[in-house]
Structure 1
Amino acid sequence: MHRLLLIPARIAARLRQDELLLILLLLCVGFTLLHPSAVTSYPQLVDWPTIAALAGLLLLTTGLEESGFLQHAAFHVVTRMHTERHLALLLVGVSALLATVLTNDIALFIVVPLTLGLHGMAQLPTARLVIFEALAVNAGSVLTPMGNPQNLFLWHRSGESFGRFVAEMAPLAAILLGTLALFTCVAFPARRIDTHEDIAPPPLGRRLLWVSLALYPVFLLLLDAHQPWLGLALVSAVFLVAFRAVVREVDWALIVVFMLMFIDLRLVAELPAVRDAVAAIGLHDPQRLYAAGVLASQLISNVPAAILLAEHSDQWRVIAWAVNVGGFGFLIGSLANLIALRLLGDRRAWLGFHFWSLPFLAVVATLVWLWLFVARGGA
């Protein structure tokens, strides 16, 4: 009985520590109070395959982290990089490259834990590195259909070939990555990295490492075959049998955050006022469509924005460019931003993220507009 009484107190304490979870929960409660009968439709708003994929990835990355592998990798990175700028450019480049083939979310689950492992080895601006990794995966993911969810949705909707889609998105990727490289050089000085005197690679749990690494490609193949639940079942069974302690270390609250995000953001996108406003903008004009995509992403995130705009316009290329640009700026612009800061676990980083992301949005939104409507003479 005493333990049961402690559960509400633990939940309340968790909500006080996790502002994002609290905000999403309160928003969901608000929608429920306004339309109680809509509660039964909430499960249909959640993208359950994405939830299954996220849960499997959390298990696998937690396994890698608990094995000590990421800390080992961090040790070798930090001992070979001479300046903060070199290290930042390396991590930004790796993040962008991984995002083109593994999606932006998966890239973060690999790179951010590795970056956090650097914290105990050298005096580094870890939060700023993670912020730029979030920018990097958003920039790198624009190139391919599998890079992010909005690209995958618009690619299927467009009917274009894989190669044609990549060719259409390549100029945008070049603009974003080139600008990000300049921002990275400004944000990180050419200051020598000072490693701690007692730095040494941590112990390595080889059995847990090899099992986690072996499961990774199998899980990704199952995701590619549109079998996320089978992949989650496989990974969960292995960890529950062989590494139950890893299951307890997973940040399961992140799953709840994503479920609430799907519900809240889709409810916002379906509000009559939102849909009427979108319909009244005049989306037949490519410049208005571009502006609407960037701005809508700042309000409801870029995936719901892509879905909403695609219902009012068949100009998939302009929508794709707009919502990918809209992934920068405010934190809610892209789910990848939320994942990165969630993995970082530093609430103060919210301000730091916007310090860099908002100017980045202003610059790239202008450059992309010039490319689309001035240099190219229109979309």
Structure 2
Amino acid sequence: MFLLKKLGEEMEHTSSELGNQSLWAKIWQFFVVDKVFLVSFIIALNAMVFGQAHFTTRFFDWKVIATVFGLMLVIGGFRESGLLRYIGESMVSKSKTTRQLVRFTTNLTFFLAVFFTNDLTILTMLPLYLYITKHVENRKSVYWGASFIVPACHMGSTLLPFGNPHNLYVYNFFHLSSNNMAFFKGTVPMWIAGFIVLNLACFLIDKDPIHVDTKPKDFNIVEVVVFVALMVLMATSVFTKVAIGGINFYWIAAGITSLIVFLYKRELFKSADYHLILTFMCFFIIVGNLVDIEQITTFVSNLASSPQGAFLGTVLISQVISNISSAVLMSPFTTHGVAVILGADVGGVGMLTASMATLIAYKVISVQGRSEIAGYAKYFAICMVAFLVVLTAIGLVIVSII
């Protein structure tokens, strides 16, 4: 895949450069390479200054940190196995019209995101889509199709607690494992509604005949079996409160996963998103200090006193500081956990800053579709705004009913 090869070359070049840099230069590079982490770090420092000026861990959620890290390793394993690429190429190779291709791509993205998170799904499906549509004459339909992949990821990952990091955080923060029905009463309707809206949007695509020239490449069966087993292990740790020998099962699951990956494919540790874990920690510190500022506590608590307010507040804050950060920020100030989850899921669609997945998608388009960036950017922007408005309206109805 062109983009993955390009990114790999850039990472190798960056690693080579870093090897010749001073320690301070490496530290600076680590901070500025991920803007979401950088902003969260700066906010955390300010929160400590204006809050109680202390490093507090009272809102640290170690289950989320351990589980997210374990899932990162597992998802990295699936990426290396080639399974997702094989599934994607197998499906799109059967497309006979542009509309069918877009529908296949959108629906496959939607269902893959249930298990494989937004980032990996986008990095698999979007480059593949852009590659196979580069000779399609109807560019308007191609632009629409590329844009649909982003909301498809966000809506697909809504269904399960481990579909994305903010779902997992809120699920654990509100102890929804003791009442899974409350969680699914919110996420299932949103998931179904997202599926319907995406498929209705596909009618915007013309039915021009096309020929997709791609052959599915083989994947590593052994690796798939290993990482399916580890995925089941990590998923079990999300839904259970079991402790063995006084050790919580999520630590055991993360430890077993880390050990197997270290023995079997240790290079996956290099590809884990450590910035995401540190971003979580920064916002744990932020919340721990802000809850001591009465004015902020009163304002946010009043905003999130109703499920509609918690939902809308999370959607709007997501547009500024990303959906993961908004979920962590809103959770301590409301009792409506499911509304926060749905707000973060919907809020990931919209501005480029709304989620890392949206930002990744735009970067992919900028690299692989740079010669047509104006066309892609136009329809990308229209699509994000339209889906944000429609899904926000649907979300308000759902949180009002449940």
Aligned pairs for 1:42-191 (under 5 A) are 47-64=65-82, 70=85, 73-100=87-114, 102=115, 104-105=117-118, 108-110=119-121, 112-123=123-134, 129=145, 131-152=147-168, 153-154=170-171, 157-158=175-176, 161-163=179-181, 165-186=183-204, 188-191=205-208
Give, as a single letter, the amino acid of the residue that structure 2 aligns with 1:21.
D
- Aligned twin of 2:225: 214
Percent identity over the alignment is: 17
Paired with 1:119 and 1:216, the residues of 2 have a C-alpha distance of: 28
Paired with 1:127 and 1:7, the residues of 2 have a C-alpha distance of: 41
Alpha-carbon contact 1:326-1:333 (below 8 Å) kept: yes
- Aligned twin of 1:231: 257
The verdict on how the C-alpha distance between 1:368 and 1:120 changes in structure 2, with shifts beyond 3 A counting, is closer
Aligned residues: 351
- Aligned twin of 2:389: 362
The verdict on how the C-alpha distance between 1:30 and 1:97 changes in structure 2, with shifts beyond 3 A counting, is closer
Secondary structure of the structure 1 residue equivalent to 2:209: coil
Alpha-carbon contact 1:32-1:39 (below 8 Å) kept: no
The verdict on how the C-alpha distance between 1:151 and 1:114 changes in structure 2, with shifts beyond 3 A counting, is closer
Flag the structure with more relative contact order, 1 or 2, with Cα contacts below 8 A and sequence separation at least 6. 2
Secondary structure of the structure 1 residue equivalent to 2:34: helix
Q: CA deviation at 1:361?
A: 0.8
Paired with 2:47 and 2:341, the residues of 1 have a C-alpha distance of: 33
* TM-score, normalization by structure 1: 0.71
Secondary structure of the structure 2 residue equivalent to 1:324: helix
* TM-score, normalization by structure 2: 0.67
Paired with 1:22 and 1:304, the residues of 2 have a C-alpha distance of: 13
Paired with 2:330 and 2:75, the residues of 1 have a C-alpha distance of: 30
Paired with 2:353 and 2:18, the residues of 1 have a C-alpha distance of: 35
Alpha-carbon contact 1:331-1:353 (below 8 Å) kept: no
Give, as a single letter, the amino acid of the residue that structure 2 aligns with 1:228.
A
Paired with 1:33 and 1:291, the residues of 2 have a C-alpha distance of: 25
Q: CA deviation at 1:58?
A: 1.7
Cα RMSD of the aligned pairs, angstroms, is 4.5
User: Unpaired runs of 5+ in structure 1?
Assistant: 241-246
User: Unpaired runs of 5+ in structure 2?
Assistant: 1-15, 238-252
- More divergent stretch after superposition (139-148 vs 83-92): 139-148
